Amino acid sequence: MAKKSKTNDRRQHGNGRKNVRYADQDVIISTGGEVHQTARGETPVLTTQQGIPISDDQNSLKIGTRGPTALEDFHFREKLFHFDHERIPERVVHARGFGAHGYFENYESLSDITKADLFQRPKEKTPVFVRFSTVAGNKGSPDLARDVRGFAVKLYTKEGNWDIVGNNIPVFFIQDAIKFPDIIHAAKQEPDRGFPQAQTAHDNFWDFISLTPESMHMVMWIMSDRTIPRSFRFMEGFGVHTFRFVNAEGKSTFVKFHWKPKLGLQSVVWNEAVKINGADPDFHRRDLWNAIQMGDYPEWELGLQLFDDNFADRFDFDVLDATKIIPEEQVPVKRVGRLVLDRCVENFFAETEQVAFCTQNIVPGIDFTNDPLLQGRNFSYLDTQLKRLGSPNFTHIPINAPKCPFHVFQQDGHMAMMNPKGRANYEPNSWNGQGGGPRESPEKGFQSYSAEEDGAKVRIRSETFADHYSQARQFYISQTETEQNHIAEALTFELSKVERLEIRTRMVSHLLNIHPKLAKDLADGLRLKEMPKAADAAKPTREDLKKSPALSIVLNGPQSFKGRKMGVLVTDGVDSAILQSLQSALKKEGATIEIVAPKIGGVKASDGSWIEAAQRIDGGPSVLYDAVALLPSKDGATALANNAAARDFVADAFSHRKFIGYIDAATPLFAKAGVSDNRDEGFIALKKPTDCSAFITACRQLRHWAREANKAPRRLNVGA
Ligand code: HEM
């Protein structure tokens, strides 16, 4: 028989407890000094998952105060058991992502081209959930990895869920889904060592790419600044594949989907991306969260490229080849509605983590084409989601369930939440009206487009897919000089991380088929001892494809500072008139301001008012902002000049081609940051409050790219 515990070990809840105050919080401390907070007033009582009220959540049940833990402590066991099983497998690709709710509103009826219910009535609003993601990195990887961004949209239409599972790049690496495991294996961390994480700058990736010429068009996109977007809000999205619209008469029109950001396109530069990853690895998710919380709801327009069989037959490339675009100048993008994100998730796991997008989720009026990449995707998503979410019933999770009525005969399985009611779980049945369940509908039901298909069963890639370089060249020549240089720099950076010379050389041999200047830049950048011969091409590069200005980020900027963020460095004595004028000019523009100060508690301004800081100087480097203003007092600037973080603030803003507003007192900072001799038109003197609006006008260009091009920057006098 167990020995009886001593009386003081049987101390009941309440004995030896003291009420104490921790600043604003009244708490109770108990015998061991541990803190208790108890339910009062509106605060609910903590319970187990079975609903049993809990008396003490700080101590497990022990035999004696210093004795072993009792197995009968069901609360303790339940708590640990549940915690032990909190993780589910992360997505095999696109593991890191961030989602938000909103709606899609179409401008006009599209009933002539599709019978899809959501496009029938002008101004119809359809609820949506959108998840943005990176591809290669694991769930905890940084946001500013150089990577393709996923742009997946789930539209909860009245005739079922339609998912446009797209990316921020309109083409893909490979043409046939059978190569997807290979490209992803090659891109992710190398299997023996488990690194590098979230980057393609390693041998395996470039080894695969340099042996896969079909990826060369995509290589141009991923080495451009498209893969280091400033914000999800400033990115385009693309459905990539050619789909079909089908109208009520059964007529098919080919369609490619585009999302066009209302705030225009914007990316960061590579050196900035690397630093953002250190300063704020959650930069993109924080940006989206903050914008929505502030009521500055991001918007995109849905654009359609519509074309018929005739165009498809005439077009230079195969419309089933996902490594090709149709230039917007050839088939214009018709804007048919807007996507607005206006609600953050309430629970990241329940919504962003558990959402399951799938290319096969389409609705009547929309259909697939034979794009072999799309056909493979249609299998892969459902298959992987069964593993990831653990049950075929993941469609019961609210984020995945349709918002229209649905009736199925599927039943049971792990975690079944909504088994069909009634006696019949099969059809046909004769329980009509007595629980017999739903029936098919030839009128309303999804009808596949009756495309004519025939041919021998072969494992052969179509010859119409064989041109690998022409559109890569077209992309390259469509960029501004700055953007072309960024592509060359990115390739040089990545290939400089590749250990094997033969892989670097192989890549340059492909670049020769894209553009001689690009190949030469790389050969110089990598210091190849000799230029290789151009890779043998399945088809020669066409040089007659015209430039497509729609492919440039710089040419598609917003000409506005709306939605952007200014970092303002202040110290005690900051000129309050200039600060206020800057604040109101930014507000008028629709931009935000963040005060960066030597201490988080804030500063005392010249008029005696107190200015709260949002960041301490080392927590708010200039890489987090689109432009900066330097408003220290004279004494403040002298003190900051000895602060490494303040020097970096200025030096980085300069080297990332940002617009810099400043008052004269900031001059010592320029000297310490090494930019005194390089002040150009991107430096705007704020001598009086009215200068602020000219500063914001300059900021509308987003970056002072001329600084990059200027080999010998023009000197400007302070305040000029
Ligand atoms: C045009 C090419 C492709 C695009 C645009 C694309 C896009 C995406 C996006 C946006 C996601 C993330 C969805 C989310 O946020 O939950 C995703 C996930 C995924 N993709 Fe793709 N993908 C492409 C090609 C492929 C191919 C060819 C395959 C396989 C054959 C594939 C397999 C997967 C898998 C397995 C996931 C994880 C899904 C999950 O766990 O929920 N993707 N893809």
Distance 181 CA to ligand 1 centre (A): 11
Q: Which of 130, 132, 135, 165 to mutate to test the pocket of ligand 1 (most atoms within 8 A of CB)?
A: 165
- Model pLDDT, residue 689: 96
Average pLDDT in the 680-686 region?
A: 97
| Contact (CB, 8 A) for 361 and 394 | no
In terms of Cβ atoms closer than 10 Å to its own Cβ (0-12, 13-18, 19+), residue 627 is buried
Using pLDDT thresholds of 50, 70 and 90, give the confidence band for residue 147.
very high
Q: Cβ atoms within 10 A of the Cβ of 536, count?
A: 8
- Model pLDDT, residue 712: 39
- The yes-or-no verdict on residue 713 having pLDDT over 50 is no
Q: Whose CA is nearest to atom 15 of ligand 1?
A: 131
Mean pLDDT over each residue of the chain, to the nearest integer: 95
| β-bridge pairing 25-29 and 18-22 | antiparallel
Angle made by CA atoms 177, 162, 180, in degrees to the nearest 5: 10
The dihedral through the CA atoms of 37, 43, 49, 54 has a sign that is positive
Average pLDDT in the 554-562 region?
A: 94
* pLDDT tens sequence across 396-453: 999 999 999 999 999 999 999 999 888 999 999 999 888 899 999 999 999 999 999 9
- The yes-or-no verdict on residue 684 having pLDDT over 90 is yes
> Rounded CA gap, 702 and 621, in Å?
18
Distance 277 CA to ligand 1 centre (A): 24
Atom of ligand 1 nearest to the CA of 383: 35
* pLDDT tens sequence across 339-377: 999 999 999 999 999 999 999 999 999 999 999 999 999
Residue 167 annotated to the active site: yes
Atom of ligand 1 nearest to the CA of 167: 5
> Rounded CA gap, 55 and 28, in Å?
13
| Contact (CB, 8 A) for 393 and 401 | no
Of the listed 75, 94, 101, 515, which one is catalytic? Answer: 94
| β-bridge pairing 334-344 and 97-106 | antiparallel
Q: Whose CA is nearest to atom 38 of ligand 1?
A: 381
* pLDDT tens sequence across 148-184: 999 999 999 999 999 999 999 999 999 999 999 999 9
Q: Whose CA is nearest to atom 34 of ligand 1?
A: 381
The tokens of 121 are what? 């009535």
- Model pLDDT, residue 433: 81
Name which of 305, 302, 301, 300 is nearest 328 in CA terms.
Answer: 305
Residue 94 annotated to the active site: yes
Q: Whose CA is nearest to atom 5 of ligand 1?
A: 166
- Model pLDDT, residue 719: 29
What proportion of the chain, given as a percentage, has pLDDT over 70? 96
Atom of ligand 1 nearest to the CA of 131: 15
> Rounded CA gap, 612 and 108, in Å?
47
Alpha carbon 560 to chain centroid, angstroms: 22
The identity of residue 628, as a single letter, is: V
Q: Cβ atoms within 10 A of the Cβ of 89, count?
A: 12
Distance 381 CA to ligand 1 centre (A): 7
Q: Cβ atoms within 10 A of the Cβ of 407, count?
A: 9
End-to-end Cα distance, the chain: 93
> Rounded CA gap, 106 and 388, in Å?
34
List ligand 1's pocket residues with C-beta within 6 A.
Answer: 91-94, 97, 131, 133, 150, 152, 165-167, 172, 177, 180, 240, 322, 355-357, 373, 376-377, 380-381, 384-385, 388
| Contact (CB, 8 A) for 646 and 585 | no
- Model pLDDT, residue 391: 96
Q: Whose CA is nearest to atom 24 of ligand 1?
A: 377
Distance 91 CA to ligand 1 centre (A): 9
Name which of 661, 489, 641 is nearest 585 in CA terms.
Answer: 661
CA dihedral 442, 446, 449, 453 (to 10 degrees): -90
User: Which residues does 338 contact at the CB level (< 8 Å), separation at least 6?
Assistant: 104, 105, 107, 262, 299, 300, 301, 302
> Rounded CA gap, 420 and 409, in Å?
7
Q: Helix or strand or coil: residue 537?
A: coil
Q: Which helix (H) or strand (E) holds 77?
A: helix 74-84
Atom of ligand 1 nearest to the CA of 239: 5
The dihedral through the CA atoms of 274, 279, 281, 286 has a sign that is negative
Residue 51 gets the label, from left (phi > 0), alpha (psi -120 to 50) or beta, of left
Please report the DSSP string for 194-256 in residue order: ----S---SHHHHHHHHT-GGGHHHHHHHTSGGGSBS-GGG--EE--S-EEEE-TT--EEEEE
> Rounded CA gap, 421 and 425, in Å?
9
Q: Which of 149, 377, 386, 387 to mutate to test the pocket of ligand 1 (most atoms within 8 A of CB)?
A: 377
Q: Which of 90, 320, 380, 383 to mutate to test the pocket of ligand 1 (most atoms within 8 A of CB)?
A: 380
> Rounded CA gap, 130 and 344, in Å?
10
The tokens of 552 are what? 């440039």
Atom of ligand 1 nearest to the CA of 133: 15
Average pLDDT in the 95-124 region?
A: 98
In terms of Cβ atoms closer than 10 Å to its own Cβ (0-12, 13-18, 19+), residue 23 is exposed
Using pLDDT thresholds of 50, 70 and 90, give the confidence band for residue 12.
low
Distance 180 CA to ligand 1 centre (A): 10
Using pLDDT thresholds of 50, 70 and 90, give the confidence band for residue 714.
very low
Atom of ligand 1 nearest to the CA of 240: 1
Alpha carbon 474 to chain centroid, angstroms: 26
Q: Which of 92, 94, 133 to mutate to test the pocket of ligand 1 (most atoms within 8 A of CB)?
A: 94
| Contact (CB, 8 A) for 385 and 341 | no
Of the listed 106, 167, 400, 678, which one is catalytic? Answer: 167
Alpha carbon 249 to chain centroid, angstroms: 39
* pLDDT tens sequence across 612-640: 999 999 999 999 999 999 999 999 999 99
- The yes-or-no verdict on residue 681 having pLDDT over 80 is yes
The dihedral through the CA atoms of 618, 624, 630, 633 has a sign that is negative
Q: Whose CA is nearest to atom 41 of ligand 1?
A: 356
- The yes-or-no verdict on residue 119 having pLDDT over 90 is yes
Q: Is the peptide bond before 191 cis (omega within 30 degrees of 0)?
A: no
Distance 647 CA to ligand 1 centre (A): 43
- The yes-or-no verdict on residue 385 having pLDDT over 70 is yes
The tokens of 537 are what? 């091409």
User: Which residues does 587 contact at the CB level (< 8 Å), separation at least 6?
Assistant: none
- Model pLDDT, residue 9: 43
In order of 279, 413, 487, 687, 705, the CA distances from 626 in angstroms are 15, 51, 21, 21, 13
Q: Cβ atoms within 10 A of the Cβ of 586, count?
A: 25
Q: Which of 88, 91, 174 to mutate to test the pocket of ligand 1 (most atoms within 8 A of CB)?
A: 91
Bridge partners of 26? 21
- Model pLDDT, residue 250: 97
* pLDDT tens sequence across 258-288: 999 999 999 999 999 999 999 999 999 999 9
In order of 135, 246, 369, the CA distances from 331 in angstroms are 29, 19, 18
| Contact (CB, 8 A) for 514 and 295 | no
Using pLDDT thresholds of 50, 70 and 90, give the confidence band for residue 515.
very high
Rg for the chain (alpha carbons), in Å? 30
- The yes-or-no verdict on residue 5 having pLDDT over 70 is no
The tokens of 80 are what? 């640990």
Name which of 269, 268, 235, 240 is nearest 98 in CA terms.
Answer: 235
More confident residue, 212 or 709: 212
Atom of ligand 1 nearest to the CA of 322: 1
- The yes-or-no verdict on residue 490 having pLDDT over 80 is yes
Q: pTM above the 0.85 mark? A: yes
* pLDDT tens sequence across 581-598: 999 999 999 999 999 999
> Rounded CA gap, 615 and 224, in Å?
31
Angle made by CA atoms 166, 169, 174, in degrees to the nearest 5: 85
> Rounded CA gap, 243 and 253, in Å?
8
> Rounded CA gap, 141 and 135, in Å?
10
Distance 558 CA to ligand 1 centre (A): 30
Bridge partners of 573? none
Using pLDDT thresholds of 50, 70 and 90, give the confidence band for residue 677.
confident
Distance 354 CA to ligand 1 centre (A): 15
Bridge partners of 131? 99, 152
| Contact (CB, 8 A) for 258 and 526 | no
Helix 180-187 with 372-389: angle, nearest 10 deg: 60
Name which of 651, 647, 645 is nearest 599 in CA terms.
Answer: 645
Using pLDDT thresholds of 50, 70 and 90, give the confidence band for residue 709.
confident
Using pLDDT thresholds of 50, 70 and 90, give the confidence band for residue 16.
confident
- Model pLDDT, residue 15: 64
Distance 194 CA to ligand 1 centre (A): 22
Would you mind telling me the total number of residues written for the chain in this entry?
A: 720
Atom of ligand 1 nearest to the CA of 151: 10
Distance 395 CA to ligand 1 centre (A): 18
* pLDDT tens sequence across 224-261: 999 999 999 999 999 999 999 999 999 999 999 999 99
